[in-house]
Amino acid sequence: MKNRKYRLLKNRVQKYRIRKYRINIKGTLVTVKKRVYLFYFRSKRRDKYFEHDIKIGTPIKDKSGNIIGFMPSKEDSLDRLMDLGSDFTDGRENVEDAAIRNIRSDKLHMALAKLPDEDAALIEAIYFRNSGKGMTVRGYAEVIGIPYQTVHSRKKRILVTLRKLMEK
């Protein structure tokens, strides 16, 4: 009877045994909590990915398993594209981008024409004067003689209205 109770107790202790998580730090095993252990090994795997996996090309094998070439790594591919200049445009605007820009510009001007004169004047002053640089909200408020916060809230309201008009 005594041996049976001892065995049951021993089995319960083994069943609920607390696992010790250890990390090797400079040759010494240090006991840590499970979260620290998991974080450590995930970050170690991430470091390995950035140091090794991303830099080494993947071998290309034929049906018999012989290596016939290497697919370049992500880092190598970017370097090669930059050298060739094939990933970057030559600075000229392509036809599609120009057409989209013109359509958006036309929509904006049509939406501005639908705004009341005061609202259109505010948007023109802030965004279109001085070769497209405009003036500051604070400067516009001083020019027309109303508080800055009033001009700012009007600007926000007008921009919401413009977005709605342009979406139609």
CATH number of 97-167: 1.10.10.10
What pTM does this model have? Answer: 0.44
Question: In 10 A of CB 157, how many CB atoms?
Answer: 11
DSSP string, 113-126: HHS-HHHHHHHIII
Question: 19-63 pLDDT, tens per residue?
Answer: 778 888 888 888 888 888 888 877 776 666 666 555 556 667 777
pLDDT the model gives residue 70: 63
pLDDT surpassing 80 at residue 158: yes
The residue extents of the domains of the chain are 7-52, 56-84, 97-167
pLDDT surpassing 80 at residue 73: no
> Side-chain half-sphere of 57: how many Cα atoms within 13 Å?
12
The residue-averaged pLDDT of 93-104 equals 82
pLDDT the model gives residue 153: 94
Percentage of the chain modeled with pLDDT above 90: 14
Q: For the chain, what is the mean pLDDT?
A: 76
Question: 117-134 pLDDT, tens per residue?
Answer: 999 988 888 888 766 567
- Residue 146, token pair as written in the block: 């109303």
The residues with which 22 forms a beta bridge, in sequence order, are: 31
Higher-pLDDT residue of 92 and 165 is 165
